[in-house]
């Protein structure tokens, strides 16, 4: 039996159609990754295509890694030559080789969101822009949108309709000049500048067109205009372009995604073949029926109907509560009940919501119920202060033109270089049109620096010495050298606080990251470079931090949940005004509501076994109580598919103890109040004696090793004082502490 016989008929057709443009409309859970990997195997094994002539593009590192592993498993050793990467990673690899063709150095820096905010602040300061009128976040959003549409600063200025638009265009122009001066790209530039490279350097484009004769793009519905241009230029010679996507899951309009790319694919490529994958392998039929009924209300879509050979399954659960507190209490209580009864693990459950602000109540209830959880989209590891400080040292060593990185570490650790000195150096750099670091190197030419000049010279000498070592050191060795010579960890140890210890743990994790990066590069037979390391961590997404082996409940927005699946899904805040949002309800653009409905479709189709929808009659939003009706998306699901729970109309008076009947809400409340695990008893029986005494060394399960300093016999138990090596001095009852003598 060949590996292709395990595919269904439509999947086989998609695999066997290898020549010319192909659009695969892959419904949720229809096995699109399976189709792509088998298609790659078929091209190599049956069609004799060289593996290095195949390019497969995804949107997230997680998806790329999954596809990479599957390709290697099916294809074997030849699979390693297939390019499998994200849009941004693909463009970075191209720019690392050819950025000098468009006026950049090949060792450029990639700016993350925080770097962009810092840069736009500098631009506004230089242009005397009032940031109360022109919000930095809004400016970055407008610049990003312009780049998504391949609009240059000059074109934006030419098309400006009023003074405000002209001002934004001027800021955009200065922002790009600053990026160029810093030899840096933001995320949007990675695509835009690659397109620019292809358009201006014919021989470079031709070499990649010959290299990538077969191109496959996953999640095509999420591409923006710049990404579409990149793919279409690259595929224009052979037109062996296979795009896979689902217009019903196009939910990133706010990021620039253009649903017209997938809806209009046949207009751009008239010879394109269209194949629909409608058999779902993930969910029960009831969940799919609900999803089909909701999405059918959209008009801007290609018709398709999901079906499955899976069981019909349970109906959709719907619960309405008086307020958000009761909603969160029920959801977390229901998860606790399932876990306690052995029906599922924590990792089988996900709580999805429309906005990040909704996570607070669920987080609080999880803490109270002692349920482990992880919020996707919290503070990024690489955005923490200590991590950004050390990475800025590494960026400066790799690319001294990066003014943001240099300015960040100039006084870390403190070198006595004040803000006035920094301002004078920056003024000189701007006047001479050189980088901030180059200005530091010629600080003797800058007037009025005084004693600060010797401190600047010391910093420059320090950086130059690290630069000279970088070529001979591994990435791990270089990072440890930076930590050692700056005394960064030593200062944190001297602080000796909970926060400083947590920062040291984060730094240890960064060192571990350098080691894992080096091991990964060695496994692939590639050189582990400083530029490569900085590039890899710059392209990390929130969802990449989710460990599937960890047993915790995931809390995330619907946008973050795309591409994931869970046996039990709780879709919270299902009210008009929350989901769909008030902005969409009152928007004159009907496409906004259609995108919200697609987002609901994505949420529903994340569920494998059971789906629970919850809403609240009243909810506190921005300090005000809102009264909302049940979401129109819930009302679009036929009643025969829904199992209705008790609807809370009002707070009922407390029932007399003699009344045996309890409301279903009280049952929910009791389910929540019962912990996810039931300890045998918290009553501690006093021991007749202890097997350790004052001066003995003991171990505690949480605090580690310590020395017993005092033991006081109380009425109920012994009170033991222990001086722990890491946690400090703690007092505790012996029965609870369960100390073990070493």
Whose structure tokens read 């496994």?
Answer: 523
Q: Are 694 and 708 in contact (CB under 8 A)?
A: yes
Catalytic residue among 147, 229, 606, 619: 606
Catalytic residue among 11, 33, 320, 514: 33
Q: Are 95 and 87 in contact (CB under 8 A)?
A: no
3 state DSSP class of 26? strand
Cis status, amide bond into 129, omega within 30 of 0: no
In DSSP terms, which residues pair with 222 in a beta bridge? none
Q: Are 510 and 436 in contact (CB under 8 A)?
A: no
For the record, the structure tokens of 626 come out as 């809102």
Q: Are 52 and 82 in contact (CB under 8 A)?
A: yes
219 a catalytic residue: yes
Q: Are 105 and 399 in contact (CB under 8 A)?
A: yes
Q: Measured at the alpha carbon of residue 688, what is the angle toward residues 686 and 690, in degrees to the nearest 5? A: 90
Residue 576: partners with Cβ closer than 8 Å, 6 or more residues away? 585, 628, 629, 630, 631, 632
In DSSP terms, which residues pair with 728 in a beta bridge? 724
Using DSSP bridges, classify how beta strands 697-700 and 553-557 pair: parallel, antiparallel or unpaired: unpaired
Q: How far apart are CA 551 and CA 345, in angstroms?
A: 7
33 a catalytic residue: yes
Q: Kindly list the distances between the CA atom of residue 320 and the CA atoms of 197, 293, 325, 648, 649, in Å, as whole numbers in the listed order.
A: 55, 21, 12, 6, 9
Burial class (CB in 10 A: 0-12, 13-18, 19+), 282: buried
In DSSP terms, which residues pair with 54 in a beta bridge? 214
Between helices 187-200 and 202-211, what is the axis angle to 10°?
100
Cis status, amide bond into 665, omega within 30 of 0: no
Burial class (CB in 10 A: 0-12, 13-18, 19+), 86: buried
Catalytic residue among 188, 219, 246, 386: 219
Segment 620-626 long-range contacts (CB within 8 Å, at least 24 positions apart)? 620/323, 620/324, 621/578, 626/577
The helix or strand, by DSSP H or E, that contains position 360, with its residue range, turns out to be: helix 359-368
32 a catalytic residue: yes
Using DSSP bridges, classify how beta strands 22-26 and 273-277 pair: parallel, antiparallel or unpaired: parallel
221 a catalytic residue: no
In DSSP terms, which residues pair with 607 in a beta bridge? 566
Catalytic residue among 227, 249, 308, 612: 249
Q: Cα torsion at 628, 630, 631, 636 (round to 10°)?
A: -150
First-to-last C-alpha distance (Å) of the chain: 61
Torsion sign (Cα): 622, 627, 631, 634: positive
Residue 452: partners with Cβ closer than 8 Å, 6 or more residues away? 416, 417, 418, 421
Catalytic residue among 11, 32, 186, 386: 32
Of 396, 399, 426, which Cα lies nearest the Cα of 409?
Answer: 396
Q: How far apart are CA 511 and CA 514, in angstroms?
A: 5
For the record, the structure tokens of 577 come out as 């005004």
Q: Are 503 and 492 in contact (CB under 8 A)?
A: yes
**Annotated binding-site residue numbers for ATP:** 26-33
Catalytic residue among 112, 188, 218, 403: 218
Residue 466: partners with Cβ closer than 8 Å, 6 or more residues away? 393, 397, 478, 481, 482, 485
93 a catalytic residue: no
Catalytic residue positions?
Answer: 32-33, 218-219, 249, 606
């Amino acid at each position: 039996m060949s590996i292709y016989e395990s595919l269904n008929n439509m999947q086989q057709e998609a695999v066997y159609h290898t020549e010319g443009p192909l659009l695969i409309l892959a419904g949720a859970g229809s096995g699109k990754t399976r189709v792509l990997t088998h298609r790659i195997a078929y091209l190599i094994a049956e069609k004799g295509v060289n593996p290095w002539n195949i390019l497969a593009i995804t949107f997230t590192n997680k998806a790329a890694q999954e596809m990479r592993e599957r390709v290697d498993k099916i294809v074997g050793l030849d699979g390693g030559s297939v390019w499998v990467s994200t849009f941004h990673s693909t463009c970075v690899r191209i720019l690392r080789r050819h950025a000098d063709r468009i006026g950049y150095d090949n060792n450029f820096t990639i700016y993350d969101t925080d770097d962009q905010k810092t840069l736009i602040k500098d631009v506004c300061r230089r242009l005397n822009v009032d940031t109360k009128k022109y919000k930095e976040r809004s400016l970055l959003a407008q610049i990003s949108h312009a780049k998504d549409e391949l609009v240059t600063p000059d074109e934006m200025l030419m098309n400006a309709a009023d003074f405000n638009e002209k001002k934004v265009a001027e800021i955009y122009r200065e922002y790009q000049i600053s990026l160029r001066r810093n030899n840096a790209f933001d995320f949007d530039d990675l695509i835009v500048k690659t397109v620019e490279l292809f358009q201006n350097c014919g021989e470079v484009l031709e070499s990649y067109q010959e290299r990538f004769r077969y191109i496959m793009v996953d999640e095509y519905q999420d591409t923006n205009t710049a990404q579409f241009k990149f793919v279409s230029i690259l595929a224009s010679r052979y037109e062996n372009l296979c795009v896979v996507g689902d217009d019903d899951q196009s939910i990133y309009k706010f990021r620039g995604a253009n649903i017209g790319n997938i809806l209009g694919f046949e207009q751009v490529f008239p010879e394109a073949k269209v194949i629909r994958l409608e058999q779902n392998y993930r969910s029960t039929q009831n969940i799919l029926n609900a999803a089909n009924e909701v999405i059918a209300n959209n008009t801007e879509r290609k018709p398709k109907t999901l079906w499955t050979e899976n069981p019909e399954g349970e109906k959709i659960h719907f619960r309405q509560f008086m307020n958000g507190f009761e909603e969160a209490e029920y959801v977390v209580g229901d998860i606790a009940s399932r876990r306690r009864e052995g029906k599922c693990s924590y990792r089988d459950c996900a709580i999805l919501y429309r906005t990040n602000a909704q996570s607070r109540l669920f987080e609080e209830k999880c803490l109270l119920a002692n349920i482990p959880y992880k919020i996707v989209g919290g503070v990024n590891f690489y955005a923490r202060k200590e991590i950004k400080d050390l990475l800025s040292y590494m960026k400066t060593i790799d690319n001294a033109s990066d003014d943001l990185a240099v300015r960040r570490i100039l006084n870390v650790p403190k070198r006595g270089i004040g803000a006035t000195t920094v301002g004078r150096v920056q003024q000189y750099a701007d006047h001479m049109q050189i980088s901030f670091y180059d200005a530091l190197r010629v600080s003797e030419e800058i007037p009025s620096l005084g004693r600060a000049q010797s401190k600047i010279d010391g910093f420059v000498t320090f950086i130059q010495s690290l630069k000279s070592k970088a070529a001979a050191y591994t990435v791990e060795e270089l990072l440890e050298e930076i930590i050692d010579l700056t005394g960064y960890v030593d200062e944190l140890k001297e602080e000796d606080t909970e926060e400083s210890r947590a920062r040291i743990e984060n730094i240890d994790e960064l060192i571990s990251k350098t080691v894992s990066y080096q091991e990964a590069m060695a496994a692939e037979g590639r050189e582990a470079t400083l530029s490569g390391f900085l590039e890899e961590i710059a392209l990390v997404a929130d969802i990449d931090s989710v460990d599937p082996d960890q047993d915790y409940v995931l809390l995330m927005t619907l946008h973050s949940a795309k591409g994931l699946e869970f046996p039990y899904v709780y879709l919270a805040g299902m009210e008009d005004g929350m989901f769909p949002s008030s902005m969409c309800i009152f928007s004159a653009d009907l496409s906004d509501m259609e995108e919200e409905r697609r987002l609901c479709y994505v949420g529903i189709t994340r569920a494998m076994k059971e789906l629970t929808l919850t809403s609240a009659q009243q909810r506190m939003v921005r300090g005000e109580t809102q009264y909302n009706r049940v979401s129109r998306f819930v009302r679009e699901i036929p009643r025969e598919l829904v199992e209705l729970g008790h609807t809370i109309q009002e707070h009922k008076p407390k029932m007399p103890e003699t009344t045996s009947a309890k409301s279903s809400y009280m049952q929910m409340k009791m389910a929540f109040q019962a912990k996810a695990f039931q300890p045998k008893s918290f009553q501690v029986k006093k021991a007749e004696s202890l097997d350790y005494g004052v001066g003995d060394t003991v171990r505690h399960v949480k605090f580690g090793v310590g020395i017993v300093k005092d033991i006081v016999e109380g009425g109920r138990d012994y009170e033991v004082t222990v001086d722990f090596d890491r946690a400090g001095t703690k007092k505790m009852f012996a029965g609870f502490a369960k100390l073990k003598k070493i």
